Amino acid sequence: MLVEAIWFMQFAFGKRSKHETVTQFYITGIKSLGVITVVALFTGMILALQTGLELRRYGQEVYIGSAVAVSMIREMGPFMTGLIISASVGSAIAAQIGTMTVSEEISALEVMSINPNRFLVMPRLVALVVMMPILSVYTNILGIMGGALVGTTQLGVSVQAYMDNATQFATNKDLYVGLFKAFLFGIVITTVSCHQGFMTTEGAVGVGRATRSSVIISFLTILVVGYMVTRMFYL
């Protein structure tokens, strides 16, 4: 399924698939912005507060900038984005394809010689692998801004000092390894959700089970893949 969808990616912006692909971009990217904004902002604020309170014991609260930036860019940005997208978009994909499966719409597509992988999986795969890194950058920016907010209002660290520290210790390697993780998470979420959707049986109950399974499996796979990538690049 994945290999076939990757093969069909060359037609993503073709006449027949463009509308579906753009729609998936919209659903994955724009419609997730609200929840991602809140989660990213508060993740950064929590990180800043927790590390800042510990660092304050040693008079080193000025370093919260680097702590928040490195944590967000390396791990928390892609990870939180992956969790949100798997819970919102991934579950929706599993539910939609699951419903189509149990109502035999997938079979109907096959009867009409429409490849479900091209028609259903490929646009979602393109949308997720493109949007996940972009949303991850958005999460990073908002997380760092949230940290700055807590740093300046709660911990007495100036914005200049916070930003200097934030950019001092983070590197481009951290940024692009994080984006690579987000890209892999996109593949994971699409694959798991579509697979769970296609494997749905037993009507509405099956759809619910497929949705739940897709979220749980995506969560676990994101964690494992995240660890493997970190180990691959930093050990």
Residues in region 32-61 near other proteins by CB under 8 A? 33
Q: Which is nearer to other proteins, 7 or 234 (CB)?
A: 234
The contacts of residue 218 (CB under 8 Å, 6+ apart) are: 82, 86, 90, 188, 189, 192, 193
Q: Residue 127, Cα to own-chain centre: how many angstroms?
A: 11
User: Applying CB under 8 A, does 30 fall inside the site for other proteins?
Assistant: yes
Stretch that binds other proteins, among 25-33, 47-55, 114-122, 206-214 (CB under 8 A): 25-33
Shortest CB 30 distance to other proteins, Å: 6
Residues in region 88-147 near other proteins by CB under 8 A? 130, 134-135, 137-138, 140-141
User: Applying CB under 8 A, does 16 fall inside the site for other proteins?
Assistant: no
Stretch that binds other proteins, among 1-9, 165-173, 183-191, 200-208 (CB under 8 A): 165-173
Amino acid identity for residue 167 in this structure: T
Nearest-angstrom CA–CA distance, 6 and 128: 12
- Please pick, from the candidates 156, 167, 205, 234, the single residue that binds other proteins as defined by CB under 8 A: 167
Shortest CB 99 distance to other proteins, Å: 23
Q: Which is nearer to other proteins, 119 or 212 (CB)?
A: 119
User: Applying CB under 8 A, does 23 fall inside the site for other proteins?
Assistant: yes
User: Applying CB under 8 A, does 175 fall inside the site for other proteins?
Assistant: yes
User: Applying CB under 8 A, does 171 fall inside the site for other proteins?
Assistant: yes
Nearest-angstrom CA–CA distance, 13 and 1: 20
Amino acid identity for residue 141 in this structure: I
Dihedral through CA 220, CA 224, CA 226, CA 229, nearest 10? Answer: -160
User: Applying CB under 8 A, does 161 fall inside the site for other proteins?
Assistant: no
The contacts of residue 48 (CB under 8 Å, 6+ apart) are: 64, 67, 68, 146, 147, 148, 149, 150, 151, 154, 155
User: Applying CB under 8 A, does 198 fall inside the site for other proteins?
Assistant: no
* Count of residues in contact with other proteins, rule CB under 8 A: 22
Percent helix, percent strand, percent coil in the chain, to nearest 5: 85, 0, 15
CB atoms within 10 A of CB 224: 11
Shortest CB 59 distance to other proteins, Å: 13
Closest CA to 124 of 44, 27, 50, 232: 27
Give contact residues for other proteins (rule: CB under 8 A).
Answer: 19, 22-23, 25-26, 29-30, 33, 130, 134-135, 137-138, 140-141, 167, 170-172, 174-175, 179
